[in-house]
Homo-oligomer: A and B are copies of this chain.
Amino acid sequence: SVNPDLASERQTASFSVEKLTAWLDGGVEHTQLRRAVVEAIERDPVFSRENQYFESQNERYEAAVRKAVHLQKKMDEMGWTDSGPEFKYIYRALSGDLAFLLHRIFIRSISMLGSDQQIAKWIPLATQHQLIGSYAQTELGHGTYLQGLETTAVFDITTQEFVLNTPNISAMKWWPGDMGRSATHTVVFAQLYVNGKCYGLHPFIVQIRSLQDHSLCPGITAGDIGPKMNFEHIDNGYLMLQNVRVPRENMLSKFCEVQPDGTYVRRGSQKINYFTMTTVRISLILDEVVIPLMKACTIAIRYSVVRRQSKLKPGEQEAKILDYQTQQEKLLPQLAAAYAFYFISDYLQELFNRGYTEIQRKNFDMLPELHAFSSGFKAMVTQYSTSAVEICLRACGGHGYSLLSGLPSLYTKIVASCIYEGENTILFLQTARFLIKCFMAASTGQPVPPSVTYLAAVTPEKCPAENKLDFLSPDIYTEAYQHMAARLINSTAAKLQDLIQSGVKKHDAWNQCTVQLAQAAKAHCHYITVKNFAETVEKLETQPGIQKIMKHLCDLFALHGIFSNAGVFLHDGYISGAQMDMVTASYLDLLAVIRKDAVPLVDAFDFTDKTLNSALGSYDGQVYQRLYEWAQKSPTNKQMSPAYEKYLKPLLHKTLSKL
């Protein structure tokens, strides 16, 4: 039975939850397929995640391998293909709690960077799991700055082989997933040397473990890097190479090749070697960031209408905590952000698809924009969402801190997204470099990509809003964001030029502006996210019920951003203090409006209880019962601890005569 406090929230929805779900899925047929896949996965006990909060790293790894192997069978059985739409639903149902995910990156990098012969040789073996691949890029001493990688691959013309080496401890590969215990093969990124000349970073397929008995191959040292904040199910590994030889054909050579005589041939931008990372950055936004954020919102919002604490009115029953303004102010902006980022993820995917088509045609013109966008949005969305999940966790008080709430593991996992696939600050600075270039170009009338033409646009000097309702106009707030982003880029570019003109060296000047450059890049991404949300709402004309609530969320996302970054809007007087009071008033009013639909808005994400895996977030809201029953299954309650016999009993038995 559903907790009556939760049930009552569903009776007053201002829109159809089913319709919103279908729209989010891109059509009711997608919803049906998703539900069918999720149901098939959840019906199968091999995929159960119920005990994961009790398991050790070794147990988690074993379970992840079991699931990955079983999934292959399941997919054959169900007729699901790796490239079909089903995989994203499978991933969602399993919450990514699966081994061999880096194996997928192994496949992707060969598909993208390998020659036709390499694809023909390796892809069938890999897709049938007749080998297990990994992707070995990061080193113990080197992360996002790829040029700094130290692993070497020297071409030996006499044997037509590359000889790979780890020249010192900081060059040891460190972190690659699936490599610590599972992988038989990996794509190693190494500095290519031919005839003593370094040609920079290139990818090489290297076998690291025997297919016979899984022992390490000659010259290979490898193992697991030990405990982490999350990802216990993944065997992140280390790898040292000592004179490991691979044939010439093992260098991925779609875009560059070493010919038998040692001639180095390039067939495209060297930057294409980093393209796998660009694609990964874009796809992780939905799977690793937005969906976890949606889960956190679902858990925290459902719990917040079941939990009662203190009294709003004297003499009445204790109030649902979501009826407190402070709780609304914690959770509802995160809900709005979840929608905003869901839409921006769509936008990026489209941009990327266009770019990829061009690249397949060997047109690399869009690479800088794609790189800048994938970097900036990866950084912005992961940073914002990490903080959002943390807010959800803390908003659930003590129970949010129990692993059984599901929130701690969402947090400890999402926080990694700020670091992996490019550390966020470095990514923001890469976006900033692009923006500064575009700004310079735009100021001198040169053409720039459509997404940044606003840098040269003329906006009014003052926000025209006259009352708090004006701030519910997307034109008003989108323009405020545009003005603010353009101003930050403009003023940072000016500071940079001033420094250089005053004699500071270019690289020092850049460094002295980086705090502001990163801020400007973030502002740009924030602006595009608001604009894209407003445009998404506009296109919803045919579904007025959904359009109305989405408009509220868009307003909330935008005004929350102004309220919490007030300084950058007030700085040049574009928004005055009096207008900021209007923003605040409209923002706080919106909280009360959206609060009424809060539960339907998370119900529309359509997570099953098993997917959420949370005592606080289940559909029926039986929070306390679930916490109590689940806790009893904890290994800490399975038997009396040996600590009693060993330490407590001798201590306590001294007292028997005295009490």
Q: Number of copies of this chain in the oligomer? A: 2
A604 lies within 8 A of chain B by Cβ: no
Contact with A570, one of B228, B235, B567 (Cβ below 8 angstroms): B567
Shortest CB distance A422–B (Å): 10
For A172, the chain B residues whose CB sits under 8 A away are 624, 628
B144:A309 contact, CB within 8 angstroms: yes
Q: Is B403 within 8 A of A418, CB to CB?
A: no
Distance in angstroms between the alpha carbons of A644 and B69 in the assembled complex: 11
A308 nearest CB across to chain B (Å): 7
A131 to B652, CA, bound (A): 6
Neighbour of A408 across the interface among B229, B330, B508, CB < 8 A: B229
Nearest-neighbour CB distance to chain B for A182, whole angstroms, equals 7
Contacts of A181 in B (CB 8 A): 636, 640-641, 643-644
A225: contacting residue among B182, B516, B631, CB under 8 A: B631
Flag if A567 contacts B588 (CB, 8 Å).
no
Chain B CB within 8 A of A618 CB: no
Contact with B along A327-341 (1 / 0, CB 8 A): 101100000000000
The answer to whether A429 touches B326, judged by C-beta atoms less than 8 angstroms apart, is: yes
Asked whether A652 and B130 contact (CB < 8 A) given A310-B148, A326-B425, A412-B412, the answer is yes
Stretch of A54-62, A257-265, A469-477, A540-548 contacting B (4+ beta carbons < 8 Å)? A54-62
**Given contacts A140-B624, A408-B229, A658-B125, is CB(A631)–CB(B567) below 8 Å?**
no
Q: Is the CB of B223 within 8 A of A511?
A: no
- Using a CB-CB cutoff of 8 Å, which residues 62-88 of chain A contact chain B? 62, 65-66, 68-69, 72
Q: A125-B659, A181-B636, A398-B143 are in contact. Are A169 and B326 (CB under 8 A)?
A: no
Find chain B residues with CB under 8 A from A649 CB.
214
A364 is an interface residue with CB less than 8 A from chain B: no
Picked from B148, B310, B507, B567, the residue with its CB within 8 Å of the CB of A566 is: B567
Q: Which of A12-20, A283-291, A311-319 contacts B (4 or more CB under 8 A)?
A: A311-319
Query: What sequence of 0s and 1s flags, for each residue 507-521 of chain A, a beta carbon within 8 Å of any chain B beta carbon?
Result: 110011111101000
The 8 Å CB contact of A647, one of B65, B580, B642, is: B65
Chain B residues, Cβ within 8 Å of A390:
390, 415
- In contact, A631 and B226 (Cβ under 8 angstroms): yes
Contacting residues of chain A (293-311) with chain B, CB-CB under 8 angstroms: 307-311
Given contacts A125-B655, A132-B648, A227-B53, contact A588 B515 (CB under 8 A): yes
A401 on the B face (CB < 8 A): yes
Q: Which residues of chain B are near A516, meaning CB under 8 Å?
A: 584
B-contact 0/1 string along A619-659, CB 8 Å cutoff = 00000110110111111110011111011110111111011
In-complex Cβ contact of A571 among B54, B229, B565, B577 (8 A)? B577
Q: Are B403 and A229 touching (Cβ within 8 A)?
A: yes
A56 touching B58, Cβ below 8 Å: no
Contacts of A174 on B, CB cut-off 8 Å? 398, 627
Across the interface, name the chain B residue whose C-beta is closest to A307.
B141
Residues of chain B lying within 8 A (CB to CB) of residue A512 = 325, 588
A518–B398 alpha-carbon span in the complex (Å) = 20
Minimal Cβ-Cβ distance residue in B for A655: B130
Any B CB within 8 A of the CB of A24: no
A218 interfacial contact with B, CB 8 Å? no
Question: Residue A568 at the B interface, CB < 8 A?
Answer: yes
CB-contact partner of A229 in B212, B238, B401, under 8 A = B401
Residues A568 and B566 in contact in the complex (CB < 8 Å), given A223-B637, A404-B226: yes
Q: B223 near A631 (CB under 8 angstroms)? A: yes
**A218 to B487 alpha-carbon distance, docked (Å):** 71
Query: Is B224's CB under 8 angstroms from A636's CB?
Result: yes
- Render A382-408 as a binary contact track against B, CB cut-off 8 A, 1 for contact: 000000001001100110111110001
Distance in Å from the Cβ of A129 to the closest Cβ of chain B? 5
Q: Does A142 contact B (CB under 8 A)?
A: yes
Q: Does A211 sit at the interface, judged by CB under 8 A?
A: yes
Q: Within the assembled complex, what's the spacing in Å between the Cα atoms of A397 and B249?
A: 34
Measured CA separation A402–B401 after assembly (Å): 20
Do A62 and B643 touch across chains, with their CB atoms under 8 A apart?
yes
What are the 6 closest A-B residue pairs judged by CB atoms, nearest first?
Answer: A566-B567, A130-B655, A226-B634, A224-B636, A229-B408, A65-B643
27 contacts between A and B (CB under 8 A): A58-B641, A72-B651, A130-B654, A132-B648, A132-B652, A141-B307, A143-B397, A180-B636, A181-B640, A182-B648, A211-B656, A214-B649, A224-B636, A224-B637, A225-B631, A227-B403, A228-B401, A229-B412, A313-B507, A323-B511, A325-B512, A393-B415, A394-B418, A515-B588, A567-B567, A571-B577, A573-B577
Q: With A325-B513, A326-B429, A390-B415 given, can you name 11 additional A-B contacts, CB distance below 8 Å?
A: A62-B643, A125-B659, A174-B398, A225-B627, A228-B403, A229-B408, A229-B412, A394-B424, A566-B566, A566-B570, A570-B577
Binding site for B on A (CB under 8 A): 53-54, 56-58, 61-62, 65-66, 68-69, 72, 125, 128-132, 138, 140-145, 148, 169-170, 172, 174-175, 180-182, 184, 211-212, 214, 223-229, 235, 238, 307-314, 318, 323-327, 329-330, 390, 393-394, 397-398, 400-404, 408, 412, 415-416, 418-420, 423-426, 429, 505, 507-508, 511-516, 518, 565-573, 577, 580, 584, 588, 624-625, 627-628, 630-637, 640-644, 646-649, 651-656, 658-659
